[in-house]
Amino acid sequence: MTTIRTVVGISRILVLVPVTVCATISYVGEEPPRCSNRTPPLQTLAKCQYDADCMKNAYCWNQEACLCKENYIVYKNRTHVECLKVANAIGDPCEADVQCRVTFAPYSECRQNICQCSDGSHYVEGRCYESVGLGEPCQTHRNCYIRDSYCVTGYCACTLKYHPNPRNDGCIPSIELGEKCLKDYECVAENSRCIDICSCKVDHVLSKDGKQCLKVRNSVGESCQENSQCQLGIKDSECGSDGKCSCIENFHQRGSVCFRDMMLNDRCQSHRDCVTVTYKHSNITEVMNVDCIDNTCVCAKDYIMSKELYDCIRYSDNGAESTISWQQIFRILPFIFFSTFLII
């Protein structure tokens, strides 16, 4: 009979679980660095197993590749690769442009080993932006570096109640007509100047609403917006419904000015006073079909009065019997008067 002996013991099972090992270097008397969850950036450096395998300011990620530490960035030149500290503020020390541009955008650079905004740019709200002057294209109001200017419909312009100075390099407060001022350029209204207060220049008149200086007109037919433009430069005129200076009622145009209407047989001082139905408004100042003779409006030479007695028409054989010449009437009047005296 065979005796079988059973040895009873504690059974142990070894389970291998794959884990990520943080590569460290052990030093005597020092606590080894603890493992941390590190996410690799896009750029990697040399291969490694331990942090010591990596360059300054880099660590070994997952025993695979050297990566720059947080707040450091890869910099490569023709001879070597290194991790440089990212700048946090304008004026921080630097060795390469990339240290500045990560924080302050492309319009920054490392100049004289200090992070600064590039020429033609300026610092605002934590970044460097291209500097854009008044009237120039912009993408954001931060481009507009002049004080009190903003990006409006794609161009830098002065904000409300401000306007550009004469050099176009600054925005100054806009002073309206009638308000106190010191310099002409403070007055915002076109064609205005400063005489203690903002007022209209010579040959300009204040508009009804007090906000514009309108050009005084000197000739009938010139464009206008309000009566005052015509009346100050042209006597007996107004701004017509067609937006042009015209003569008021009972006045007519001769050349660039207005004259009172004098009909046939009315008193006159010049042929320009005289009008007929067919000859009233005209740019011509020479004698036409009516003239002023002996201070009386009569038909001009080679013209005779129509039978209706209100117009002068050119003399012709065809219509001679239906017309009367004032000159002929004047010739026969003495004979009529003398004959009447004899009869009496």
pLDDT single digits (tens) 212-236: 999 999 999 999 999 999 999 999 9
**Three-state helix/strand/coil letters over the chain:** CCCCCCCCCCCCCCCCCCCCCCCCCCCCCCCCCCCCCCCCCCCCCCECCCHHHCCCCEEEECCCEEEECCCEEEEECCCCEEEEECCCCCCCECCCHHHHHHHHCCCEEEECCEEEECCCEEEECCEEEECECCCCECCCHHHECCCCEEEECCEEEECCCEEECCCCCCEEECECCCCECCCHHHECCCCEEEECEEEECCCEEECCCCCCEEECCCCCCCECCCHHHHHCCCCCEEECCCCEEEECCCEEEECCEEEECECCCCECCCHHHECCCCCCCECCCCCCCEEEECCEEEECCCEEECCCCCCEEECCCCCHHHCECHHHHHHHHHHHHHHHHHHC
111 half-sphere exposure, CB direction, 13 A CA radius: 8
C-beta of residue 198 within 8 angstroms of C-beta of residue 192: yes
Mean pLDDT check: name the lowest of 2-6, 152-156, 159-163, 252-256.
2-6
Distance CA 17, CA 321 (A): 135
- For the segment 136-146, the average pLDDT, to the nearest whole number, is 97
Q: What angle do CA 286, 296, 245 make, to 5 degrees?
A: 50
Widest Cα–Cα separation across the chain: 201
Return the pLDDT at 79: 85
> pTM value?
0.56
Return the pLDDT at 77: 85
Residue labelled with tokens 């750029």: 43
pLDDT single digits (tens) 41-56: 545 678 999 999 999 9
Q: What's the pLDDT band for 245 if we cut at 50, 70, 90?
A: very high
Higher per-residue pLDDT: 107 or 308: 107
The β-bridge partners of 204 are 215
pLDDT single digits (tens) 173-215: 999 999 999 999 999 999 999 999 999 999 999 999 999 999 9
